[in-house]
Amino acid sequence: MNAFHAAVAEANRSCSLIEQGEYNEAIVQLTSTLSALKQIMPHASDDGSIKTSLDECIRSRTACSNIDEEVQGQFIYERVIYYNIPTDDDISYRESVLVSCIVIFNLAIAYHLRGDRTSLTKSLKLYELSFNLQKDQQFENNILFTLAIVNNLGLVHRKLNDEQSASKCFDHILSTLMYLTDCGQASEHHLDGFFHNVTGVVSQPTVAAAA
């Protein structure tokens, strides 16, 4: 097992810890995984190839997201993302970045679910970092991944009493879901929670104006 394979394996073990509610231990492991990936990146090939996409990783496992009853019945996307350990030793730079996006996203979820104000502030920065990283790399097939990030950003902003930023996030989700509906792509079960938030969380005047 090479260094990249070991980092992916460690990241997947951290996913199990988050699912078990062991957030502190998961945070330590994911932080270590990020450091390992930073060491790997300079040695990765620059052929630009990736073997999967962010949304394919999301679809590969059953959803385990929840309604957070403590925050007005809002849907929180807490489904951590696993990455299949590659079967070969050829690692491209873009693939190492893609795995880094996933690790940062999972780290954001761990802080988000830990729930204290300091952790929420950290999760906010990590969600934004993961979003910007995948955007800079122009990864394709990442609608679900983007929706998950923007949804959770909106929830964190709301918990931190930044209603203006929260509303912008949910407006973005609403626009994306309307686009998917127009394209006939809105029936996927992974989208149910996002529909819940834009119909049950966003204020009625905002929804009416956006529609």
| Percent of the chain scoring above 90 in pLDDT | 54
- The amino acid that residue 124 corresponds to is L
Domains of the chain plus CATH, in order, are 3-210 (1.25.40)
For residue 207, report the phi and psi dihedrals to the nearest 5 degrees.
Answer: -65, -45
pTM here is 0.87
Q: Is the dihedral of CA 156, 159, 163, 167 positive or negative?
A: positive
Helix or strand run (H / E) with residue 62: none
- Which residues of the chain carry a pLDDT beneath 50? 63-64, 69-70, 201-211
pLDDT of residue 72: 58
Instruction: For 146-197, write each residue's pLDDT tens digit.
Output: 999 999 999 999 999 999 999 999 999 999 999 888 888 777 777 888 888 8
Residue 131 corresponds to which amino acid? F
Mean pLDDT of the chain: 85
